[in-house]
Structure 1
Amino acid sequence: MKENEDKYLDDFTKKIIKKASLESPSIHFTSEIMSQVKALNKSKVIAYKPLISKQTWVLIALSFIGLCIYLIFGTETHQSSWLDSLDFSKFTNVLSGFTISKTLMYAIAFFGLMLCIQIPVLKNHFDKQYEV
């Protein structure tokens, strides 16, 4: 039974192949395909643009140098700081044995400030990068 089905399918496919004519592409087929490939290769190139410009780096460097010069040659030598005005009594009552140095507190405050600045800057950068 299986052989009859195979023979019938074989005869049927031979008939179809004999009736079908050989198709050939147009004369300019290759040049048309190559022009389409070349058009695909001319994609939009994204030029490198740094997140922080040179002018901003210069401003940051000058600010840092100015701060260092002020700290070295500054005339004020009093010991009070802006942290003395903050009230940490609630935390010191809970954590009476735990002390935080001023350096660590400055580092945490500076880290928080930089984080708050970097998030909007990076969001803006990536929004511009993925615009269509």
Structure 2
Amino acid sequence: MGENKHIKELDDFSKKYIKDIDTEKLSPEFTSELMKKIQVLNVYKVQPFTPLISKKVWFLIGLLLVAILSIPFNSNEESILSVPELDVTFLNKFQLSNLIESVSISNTTFSIICLFGLMIFIQFIYLKKYFESRIH
């Protein structure tokens, strides 16, 4: 009950002072003047459009796609890139030979995995330099 009385007193107090406050009269050109000021501020903030992916990067992506499509998908064809065969004879000591021998990866898949790893490595280097330049 005491809380409601306190709220009622605050309400009466605020109503009394709100009635005493004079309302300001705005000039007839207030809106147009405000819009002019906003336009002036926006002119300074406008930056030229820069694409997210530059033309050089699109060119490299195109070359990468051509390189991937030129790698043959059949093992009978000769490939541009020779993928070395892995020597895993040391794994016989671990008795995992049955598991390893049952897994087979095609040359195309191996090439794509290597390319993906290389691109992630390049991104790490690029992003590291980018964020270091932003800090300093």
TM-score, reference length from structure 1: 0.47
Higher relative contact order, structure no. (Cα contacts within 8 Å, ≥ 6 residues apart) = 1
TM-score, reference length from structure 2: 0.46
